[in-house]
Structure 1
Amino acid sequence: MSRKSNLDALFGARPAPKPVAAPPTPDPEAFAAANPDTAEPEFAAANPPAPERSRSGPVRAMSSTLRGLAARADAAAEIEAGTVVVEIEPERIDDSFIADRVADAHDPGLPALVESIRESGQQVPILVRPHPDSPERYQVAYGRRRIQAARRLARPVRAVVRPLSDAELVVAQGKENLERQDLSYIERAFFALRLEEHGFARATITAAMGVGKGDLSTLISVARTVPAEIVRAVGPAPAAGRPRWMLLAERIRAARPDRIAGLIAEPGFREKPTNERFAALLGALAPPGAPRPAPQVWSDEAGRGIARIERTPDRVALSFDDRAEPGLADYVLDRLPEILAAYRAGRSRP
């Protein structure tokens, strides 16, 4: 035995195997012929599908209940997030805790809104929030006139429900009114005053009103000057802007309270439209003017009154009596250019 063989025997090594020739590659066609595919019908017959398990009645009921609960939970989540429009009976909706309108029994636009909703439906939903103090009730942010129209039509109102804070509600309320431009000046003034009285910061009020600090101060000043009972009696008066309300505020300060109370208590006052009520009160409180001088009468040599002269601080009115002197007025009118030229020539002389 050689030395190498002795070492291999000692360490358990085995002699390397002799290389074996690789088997020949089988022919695919011959393999397919030798292993034909089992026909589909035979395989299906030999391996029938497992029979479908039928659910018992209680299992089916529980599954249906769970699906219904899940659907209702999804719908409730959408409503709570304010992403869907729901229908609410008008009787379940309360006004905002900050009033932004002056009640007017003669609202001229409400009948047209009622007819529009009757014919075409309510196209724009209102915005409400869950009432903070009354479960199952809501508080409106904007859309009060649409609620009134729905109440007249005895139908639910379409609304978006959102969980708004007090500040979010008044800002939404103010911005909607600003965009629609349907609040009168005095309504905006009292809305600003009520926001301030409820303790809202000036930044919140300016955001809700869409005005600067200077205009906001003017609005609040006017609202503090005009008593609330007078505003309720007059109504929103949309034709009266800031200058006329400020003028009325000045006249109210100068007038006796009993005189104002008597004016708004007159039987025909509340029957007038709101703009006419404002004009009547403003005119009645006007300060008395200076007495007008008595008109002068120019007479001819026979003593007949031919012309009448009426003077005011800024004008003179001359009128002729055509019965006393027919044609005199036309004669004077035809010669007005000559009269004016002679007058100016006389004034230019030293």
Structure 2
Amino acid sequence: MTEGNFVDYVKIYVQSGKGGRGSTHLHREKFIEKGGPDGGDGGRGGHVYLVGNKELWTLFHLKFARHIKATHGGDGGSDRSTGADGEDKFIEVPLGTVVRDKETNEILFEITEHGEKKIVALGGKGGLGNWHFRSSTNQTPRYAQPGLQGEEKDIILELKVLADVGLVGFPNAGKSTLLSVMTSAKPKIADYPFTTLKPNLGIVQYRDFRSFVMADIPGIIEGAAEGKGLGHYFLRHIERNSTLLFLVPADAPDIRKEYDILVNELEKYNPEMLDKQRLLVISKSDMLDDELKAELKKELDKTLKKVPYLFISSVAQQGLVELKDKLWQMLNP
């Protein structure tokens, strides 16, 4: 899938169907001139559902579907026959889709499982026919209920990428390169900041036909939690990852400082992010000789008490097996 086809935010208008009218029919047949009421009920209006589909990775198919409407219920008929229900509308969305009310910005629900089905707009109830209103004092009621109106609302669909491991780092830290060598994903790679403008997903093949999903999230800059750079546009994707892989290049002026800035941005955006498992990975470590690497290890051992770290090189294919082993161990304790 090309970067332009990755859509993770859409606004759509949904409208459920109106309920059908109840019938005011009076029974008539040969030799029965004044039969009683036999008007049937109206059918309910169609619902609008959201359905989870694990085969979808993006909201691109809804980019141009701005108005989605279910059909109205049929009117009631004679002989107490109920009108047909309106046709329901089913909107398929990828797993990890959050549904918000556009006016209040309130989260209505989230779709996280394949086949999960939730009503976003409830169809109107059909009106009762005159048969329901007969009584000893009113044996031929000539009125029935109208159907209830359906719901209409503007909603926002936001996709939070579902991945086991999220790559977190500054622009140009080597996240796309790491994803390309760890998985079969083909992200755009170039030697300038913000090459990645949309999240990329890849499946890491592990031993014994096991696998896990890794996501390359667009690079963080200082102030991202306040919306600078790509801001909230990508931070929400990290919320779903169970393990965060912080990638800092070996040629960074201060590895610990860069790591602290990244952690601080996540904390400002959502403090619960700090509850996730973390792994610090120093990329481009083929640039380090043994002496410099030993010095860095000594410094990191002193300052990073609880966070494990690894040295790798995506280009030189160094430390990648150890990285897979470590990630699998973290994901499957």
More strand by share: 2
Bigger relative contact order, structure 1 or 2, given CA contacts below 8 A and separation 6+? 2
State whether TM-score is above 0.5.
no
Give me the TM-score of the superposition, normalised by structure 2: 0.21
Structure ID, larger Rg: 1
